[in-house]
Structure 1
Amino acid sequence: MSSLSDSRCLILCLFSLVVTYTLRHISHQIHQRQVSQAKGCKDAQSKAPVKDRFIGLDFIYDCLFTKPIEKYLDYTYKTFQQLGSTYVCQRWTWEATYTCDSRNIKHILASGFAEFKLPRLRVNAMMGLLGSGIFTLNGHSWSHARAVLRPCFAKQNKEDMVSMLETHFQALLRRIPLGGETVDVQPLFFWLTMDFATHFLMGHSTHVLDRASSHAKEKQFVDDYLTCSTEIVRKMQLGPLQIFSFNFGAMRARSRVFKYIDDFISVSLDKEGENDDATNSGLNVLQGLAALTTDRKQLRDQILHILVASRDTTACLLSNLFFVLSRKPHVYERLRQEVLSVAGTEPATSNQLNSMEYLKWCVQESLRLHPVIPTNAREASKDTILPYGGGKDGNSPLLIKKGSLVMYNTYAMHRDTEVFGPDAEEFVPERWNGLRPGWGYLPFNGGPRICIGQKFALLETHYLVSRMVQTFETIKTNKDTEWVELYALATTCKDGVNVSLKRA
């Protein structure tokens, strides 16, 4: 009798669950229809072809067995050319919208900011390996973290920063052969930006470029950091399948990264009030954060996230730019002449850098053609819309259901011929003479989440580019290969930047 009663209870519970799920599903459907009708939404103009519209077995197979596309960014650009600037990939279990339409991207990042959040898949992938920082937070937590960080950057002195950069640039020069032999400058740029970022953020540099000692711990940290970054990208590419992925090597690397940063923070805070380097001059974001919180985990996570932004993006930008400059001697010559005419052979001041128009154009063009963050995503936090992408002409609103992903692609957007001209796939700095692309150009994101340190990233880049062209009369490469991306947290050159540099 008891067994029969238990069976009835089980059946009743299952029935209740089914009814609850059905009613909730019907409620969602009604709400989505109301939003769609109120906003004038229409079916997507274009849909990506999928083999399995229900479970997504083709997606699972591609993730597990298909070799990654080598030129993935060009592939995405060509897909937009075929399907239009906004299209939907729709399955019963998974729905995502892809767009390179600047009007839609503006809505996601600015006018409709409150209706979108960081995707759970990205948050989970990053938090597991980099902790909880500004790039994994949403809502009030993100607003608080940004409010804490903003004054730490606002108080920095540009001339002190320039002086600090010169110290690390000199260390870079000691790594470049005097005889003009070919050298891969890409890893040197990554070491340089790591040395500067740790110095700038924590007042205590890793000094990886310095040959004076082995720096075994620092090099291990850089390797572990790269391992974590690579694993994050791999997890994000797996999408919903990332929950089945576990990399023990990456977990061990994460533990070493956390310990290194914890130890580094302890040493840096112990040096508070001391002059660790001649150029320290109080440029210490960590001390600003430490004045607001004593939570060492929070300090570590925030510093690690800022390090991702400041180190990776600048190194990638420098690598991408010099890859192109080595293949365009006329651009390099004009750039060099401008820098010499403004600053001579002495290191430029921040005011002098600000007057170097062609230098700015070159950097802008590199960020346009090879954006270091070429794709990004948001998740709808409620039933909402994109203003364009629906209807036969694509000019009607498109319904975005709560929980759906919107993938926006700046790599493709930066190739819009209506904004940048018919030669949009070419590196032409002169196009920036009078060009005002607005939301059609987003190298540092936009809206409330716009990069908090973009001014300092550009100052760092402008200074290092000016010093390179002052120091080296020519830059050449023996390879006539095209740029192919190494798709990581920030995008750089897959095959390095192998060049021959002739000193002036």
Structure 2
Amino acid sequence: METSTAPTQPVPLHPGLPFLGNTLAFLRNPLGTLDTLQRNHDRLVHLRIGGRHQYLVLQPEDAKHILQENHRNYGRSPAFDILKIFLGNGLLTSDGDFWRRQRRLAQPAFHRQKLAALTQTMISETADWIDELSGHNLKEPVNVSQAFMDVTMRIVCKTLFGSDTNGKLDGLSNALDTLNYLANNRMLSPLRFPYSWPTPNNQRSKRARMQVDSFIFGLIDERRKALDERDDLLGMLLSAEDEETGERMSNQQLRDESVTIFSAGHETTAVSMAWTIHLLTKHPDVLARLKAESQSVLGDARTPPPEAFRALTYTMQVVQESLRLYPPAWIMSRRAHQNDHVGPYTIPAGDTALVCPYLLHRDPANWPNPDRFDPERFAPGGLKDRLHSYAYLPFGGGPRLCIGNQFALMEMQILLALFVRRFTPKAAGNQRIVPKPLITLRPNQAIRAVLE
């Protein structure tokens, strides 16, 4: 941790309203406000939001300083207390020594060789979904946002829980959707009643959490009694041992990590896929090249072998460029434990540093024509390879880099390749799709497309 007392310059303060500071601007138009901040400031800008002092980082090297080089000086911000209500104390929301222990325990389940065993499940579930989608009335526009929610739920359930969950998934999915919706509302609301108060939303949240807990604790109990090891993610977490102590996860820890994996693997991947299809409907040249690669590399096999997907280089470029424009984790917040110096400035102890992938990904100093969809940026030896490593961070960075990043990339590549091999998506009417920054960066409405 940095504790130097060297004199520093005051961080430029972005003007706001008396008492309210910048709160209303962020409530009304968070992305527009961020764009303004990027145009008017160079490195760091001091904001007052919700009665708290926050410092927005605008340069990749400073993002790296906070997320990696001096990460021990930063813990989870108060915003994560809201997520804990429904995710529990999993990898996304935990901190300190507990987080480090959980990360050590969970990491082996996400090693490449372990994920390779799950690839066939992803391919089979996607192929089944494609066949079902083909049976619909494709003369009418398809809600691709919901369609990808459906298939990613199937994939994460099979890869996380195995086949034990047949016929039980709708209740779990609905309960988690309810918790996600209520967490978004609470995050955006300037008036938050204590969780212990019996408000209608608090009561809904508690009922949904009880439903999630009943399902997952019951599943964990069944698996412990079965005493057989399985290759799904829950099986790997059940058998994981701390290298230093030999301890395994408790039932509560297993529950919290399972809910975290389910939520992240389901919702964020589906949202990213819907954004990708939206972009393809506006760029037929990219779509044509993508289809040609998929058909050439994968051939006619209903479920191509996992190794075939590794050759889909342009498909991965499309995925990466979509994640640049619409990163699901669009902003990250960290609370400073001690004063930290960022160049000539100080982030005071107790205040919050903000790292915004949405802004870093659209900085014209690094990304020419930043709003243009151009997968060639990610071609081997292309622009991305010449930029600072923290100019692009759709999965965060440093020790807290998303543990499921390779899982998500692999899933998106499979989904996209098999989808465009069968379908040509076309824009449905005159939908005005714009980003809606909630916990994740969602579209403002369901994305629909005509599938030929």
The change in CA–CA distance for 1:88 and 1:262 in structure 2 (over 3 A counts) is same
What does residue 318 of structure 2 align with?
A: 362
Q: 2:338 and 2:97 mapped to 1: Cα distance?
A: 17
2:102 corresponding residue in structure 1: 145
Confirm or deny that 1:378 pairs with 2:334: yes
Does 2:39 correspond to 1:81?
A: yes
SS of the residue aligned with 2:354? strand
Q: Distance in 1 between matches of 2:49 and 2:89?
A: 31
3-state SS in 1 of match to 2:370? coil
Q: Is the 8 A contact 1:483 1:493 kept in 2?
A: yes
- Residue equivalent to 2:245: none
Aligned residues: 432
Aligned partners of 1:316 and 1:372 also within 8 Å: yes
Q: Secondary structure at the match of 1:363?
A: helix
Shift of 1:270: 5.5
1:268-310: CA deviation from partner (whole Å, max 9, x where unpaired): 5556649xxxxxxx43121222224362212111111122222
Matched, 1:492 2:439: no
Distance 2:325 2:363 in 1: 11
- Taking the aligned partners of 2:185 and 2:82, their CA distance within structure 1 comes to 9
Matched, 1:416 2:363: yes
- Other structure's SS at 1:406 match: strand
Q: Residue 283 of structure 1 corresponds to which residue in structure 2?
A: 231
Q: Distance in 2 between matches of 1:67 and 1:419?
A: 25
Seq. identity, %: 24
* 2:259 maps to 1:304: yes
Deviations 1:223-269 (Å, cap 9, x if unpaired)?
Answer: 22122122223333457956588622222222212222222333455
TM-score under structure 2 length normalisation: 0.87
Residue 3 of structure 1 corresponds to which residue in structure 2? none
1:427 maps to which of 362, 365, 373: 373
Match of 1:42 in 2: 9
Letter in 1 for 2:298: A
Q: What are the residue-to-residue correspondences of 1:199-214 with 2, within 5 Å? A: 199-204=158-163, 206=165
TM-score (norm 1): 0.79
Query: Structure 1 residues 420 and 471, CA, compared in 2 at 3 Å: closer, same or farther?
Result: same
1:231 alignment partner in structure 2: 182
Q: 1:130 aligns with which of 60, 83, 87?
A: 87
> CA offsets, 1:457-489, max 9 Å, x none?
1111111111111112x2101234343224333
Partner Cα separation in structure 1 for residue 43 and residue 76 of structure 2: 22
Q: Which amino acid aligns with 1:448?
A: P
Report how far residue 91 of structure 1 moved.
8.8
Which residue number in structure 2 is paired with residue 479 of structure 1?
429
- What secondary structure, in the 3-state scheme, does the structure 1 residue paired with 2:282 have? coil
Q: 2:20·2:51 contact (CA, 8 Å) conserved in 1?
A: no
Report the equivalent of 1:318.
273
C-alpha separation in 2, matches of 1:168 and 1:267 = 24
Letter in 1 for 2:154: D
Instruction: Give the partner amino acid of 1:378.
Output: R
Contact 2:325 2:361 in 1 (8 A): yes
CA distance in 2, matches of 1:360, 1:350: 15
When residues 242 and 367 of structure 1 are mapped into structure 2, their CA distance, relative to the original with a 3 A threshold, is farther
Unpaired stretches in structure 2, ≥5 consecutive residues:
242-247
Amino acid at match of 1:432: F
1:159-210, Cα deviation, whole Å (9 max, x unpaired): 5423211332133221452544211021121121111112111223655xxx
1:181 aligns with 2:131: no
Q: What secondary structure, in the 3-state scheme, does the structure 1 residue paired with 2:445 have?
A: coil
Within 5 A, what are the aligned runs for 1:155-174?
156-173=113-130, 174=132
Whether the 8 Å CA contact 2:109–2:115 is kept in 1: the answer is no
Quickly say closer, same or farther: Cα 1:205–1:339, change in 2 above 3 A.
Answer: farther
CA–CA distance in structure 1, aligned partners of residues 21 and 40 of structure 2:
21
Is the Cα–Cα contact under 8 Å of residues 130 and 254 in structure 1 kept in the other structure? no
Cα offset, 1:89, TM superposition: 1.7
Which AA in structure 2 matches 1:410? P
Once the 2 structures are TM-superposed, how far is the Cα of residue 403 of structure 1 from its aligned partner?
0.7
CA distance in 2, matches of 1:102, 1:201: 34
Aligned to 2:395: 444
Aligned match for 1:398, one of 340, 345, 350: 345
* Cα distance change, pair 233–35 in 1 and its aligned pair in 2 (3 A): farther
In structure 1, list runs of 5 or more residues that go unmatched: 1-31, 208-214, 275-281, 388-396
| 1:1-27 deviation per Cα after TM superposition (whole angstroms, max 9, x unaligned) | xxxxxxxxxxxxxxxxxxxxxxxxxxx
CA RMSD after TM alignment: 2.8
What secondary structure does 1:149 align onto?
A: helix
How far apart, in 1, do the equivalents of 2:378 and 2:104 lie?
Answer: 33
Q: Could you tell me how far apart the structure 2 residues matched to 1:312 and 1:467 are?
A: 20
Conserved in 2, the CA contact under 8 Å of 1:327 and 1:480?
A: no
Question: SS of the counterpart of 1:420?
Answer: coil
Answer yes or no: is the 8 Å Cα contact 2:126–2:415 preserved in 1.
Answer: yes
Superposed, which structure 2 residues align to 1:347-358 within 5 Å? Answer: 347-358=303-314
Residues 185 and 134 of structure 1, relative CA distance in 2, 3 Å threshold: same
Q: Which amino acid aligns with 2:10?
A: D
1:433-467 superposed Cα distances (whole Å, 9 cap, x missing partner): 31223210001111111111211211111111111
CA contact (8 A) 2:68 2:398 kept: yes
Rounded Cα–Cα distance in structure 2 between residues aligned with 1:172 and 1:92: 44
Preserved CA contact (<8 Å) 1:184 1:496: yes
